[in-house]
Amino acid sequence: MIFAVKPNDEPTTKPTAFLQLSSVTKSYTAEEPPVLQAVTLGIQQGESLAVTGPSGSGKSTLLNLMGALDHPTSGAVLLDGRDLSNMNDDELARFRNREIGFVFQMHHLLPQCTVLENVLIPTLVAAHGKAAHGKGSAEYEARARQLLERVGMTHRLSHRPGALSGGECQRVAVVRALINEPRLLLADEPTGSLDQGSAENLAQLVVELNEEQGVALVVVTHSTELAERMSRQLRLSSGKLQELAT
C-alpha cells in the first residue's frame, strides 16, 4: 500500500490534545545529528496513532519521550499543558503510573509472578497516585480479571509467563498497561516478536481496546498492517515527523 505523503504537512497541534510535543529535539551525543529534530505533535483523547519509519529513525525515542522515560534535549512534552520536564521524579512516576500504559516489543512480564499478579503490578504503587481512581485491591483485581477475560486469558490466570506463548504474554502485557485506566497507551513494536497470527490477533485486540476503553493509542511499528489500523499515521525520517495521508 502506498501512502500519500503530504509535504511539509507537519502534524498540527490541536487545542483539544491532552499530550503535546512542542518542537522536541533529542540528541544523545554532541557529535552526531539529533535523533529527533523539532518534533511537534498533539495527541487527543481516544485517537490512535501509528509511528513508522526506518530503524534508527527515533521511533522508540519518540515513544520514550511521550512516556516520560526520557527527557528531550530541547522543546517540551506537555501533559494537559504542563511541561513534563518541570515534574520531579515522583510526579513523573505518578504520570507513568496513571496516565500512561506501556507495551514493549518484549513483554517484560515478571517471570516470578502469575498472569493475574503481573497485571496487578502497576496497582502496587497506585497509592502514590492518590489511590488511583479510588479503587481498592478487590476492585483492581476485578478489573484485571475482566480485562484478562476480554483478551481471552481467563484460563491462564495462575500461569507464569514461562508457561505462556509469546502472543499470550503480549496480551497480558496489554492488560497490564490498561489496568490503571491510562489516557494513553504507548506500544513499541508490540507485534515485533510475534508470529503473523499472533501479531494480527494482538493488533485487533489493541484497536478494539482503544475504542472500548477510550484510551489514546500510539503504536511504533514497522508493520504497515498494524499502522493502517490506526486513525492517524506518522512517519519519522531523519528525525523529522511527517503525517501521512490515510
Partner 1 sequence: MNHYRLSLNSMRFYWRTQAGITLGIVVSTAVLVGALAVGDSVRYSLRQMALARVGRIQFAMAPSGRYFRSKLAENLQGKLGIAVAPILMLRGSATGDAGTARANNVQVIGVDDRFWALSPSASAIRRDNLPLVAVNQRLSTQLALATGDGMLIRLERPSLLPRDSSMATTTNASTALRLDVSAVLNDKQFGRFGLQSSQVPPYSVFVPISLLQRELGMEGKANTLLIGGGEQERISAAQLDRALQTAWKLEDANLQIHALPRTETLELRTDRVFFDPPVAAAALQAAPGATGILTYFVNELRHGEHATPYSLVAAMGEPVVPANLMDDEIIINAWLADDLKASSGDLLDVTFYVDASMRRLEERVASFRVRSVLPMQGDALDLDLMPDFPGISGAVNCRDWDPGIPVDLNRIRPKDEVYWEAYRGTPKAFINLQAGQKLWENRFGNLTAVRYPGKSATQSDAVASRLMSSLAPGQLGMSFRPVRDEALRAGEQSLDFGQLFLGLSFFLILSALLLTNLLFVFGMERRQAEVGTLLAVGFRPRDVRRLFLLEGAALACVGGVVGAWVGLAYTRLMIYLLNSFWRSAVAEASLSYHASAATVIAGGCASVAIGLLSLWITLRKQAMAAPRQLLTRSLASASLVDHTAGHRRARWIAAACGLLAVAVPAFTGQSSGHETAGAFFGAGLLLLVSFLSICDSLLSPTGGAVDSLRVRNNVARLTIGAMAWRNASRRRGRSLATVGLLSCASFLLISVGANRRDPGHDARKRSAGTGGFALIGQSTLPIYEDLNSPGAIEALGLDTDTLQGVSVVPGRIHEGEDASCLNLNRAQVPRLIGIAPALLGDRGSFTFVKTLKPEKRLSPWALLDADGPTNTVPTIGDQSTVVWGLGKSVGDSIRYTDERGNAFQLQIVGIIANSILQGNLLISEDRFSTCFPSESGHRLFLIDTPKQATSTVSHEFSHALEDFGVEITPAARRLSEFSAVENAYLNIFQALGGLGLLLGSVGIGICVMRNVLDRRGELALLRAVGFRTSTICRLIMLEHLSLLALGVISGTLASLIAIYPSLRTSGAEVPYVLLSLTMLAVLLNGCLWTWGATTISVREPMMDALQSE
Amino acid at 185: L
Cβ closer to partner 1: 129 or 239?
129
Which helix (H) or strand (E) is 90 found in, with range?
A: helix 89-98
Q: Would you say 220 and 189 are in contact if contact means Cβ atoms under 8 Å apart?
A: yes
The contact mask relative to partner 1 for 140-169 (x = CB under 8 A, - = no) is: -x----------------------------
> Nearer Cβ to partner 1, position 4 or 31?
31
93 part of the interface to partner 1, by CB under 8 A:
yes
97: contact with partner 1 by CB under 8 A: yes
39 vs 28: CA distance, rounded Å: 16
Between the two ends of the chain, the Cα-to-Cα distance in Å is 11
Q: Is 117 in the site for partner 1 (CB under 8 A)?
A: yes
SS3 213: helix
Q: For partner 1, what does the binding mask look like between residues 175 and 194, x meaning CB under 8 A?
A: -xx--x--------------
Which is nearer to partner 1, 120 or 206 (by Cβ)?
Answer: 120
Q: ∠239-7-217 over CA atoms, to 5°? A: 60
- What's at 2, amino acid-wise? I
Classify 30 in phi/psi space as left (phi over 0), alpha (psi -120 to 50) or beta. alpha
Closest contact distance (angstroms) between CB of 117 and partner 1 is: 5
- Which contiguous run of DSSP H or E holds residue 23? strand 19-26
Q: Closer CB to partner 1, residue 37 or residue 61?
A: 61
Among 121, 131, 142, 245, indicate the residue that binds partner 1 (CB under 8 A): 121
Question: DSSP 3-state helix, strand, coil percentages of the chain (rounded to 5)?
Answer: 40, 20, 40
Question: Is 124 one of the binding residues for partner 1 (CB under 8 A)?
Answer: yes
Residue nearer to partner 1 on the CB measure, 98 or 232: 98
Q: Which residue number, 113 or 244, has a Cβ lying nearer to partner 1?
A: 113
Under the criterion CB under 8 A, does residue 64 sit at the interface with partner 1?
yes
Written as nine digits, the cell of 84 is 513534563
| Residue 87 interacts with partner 1 (CB under 8 A): yes or no | no
d(CA 39, CA 241): 6
Residues that bind partner 1 (CB under 8 A): 64, 67, 69-70, 89-90, 93-98, 100, 102, 104, 106, 108-113, 116-117, 120-126, 128-129, 137, 141, 176-177, 180
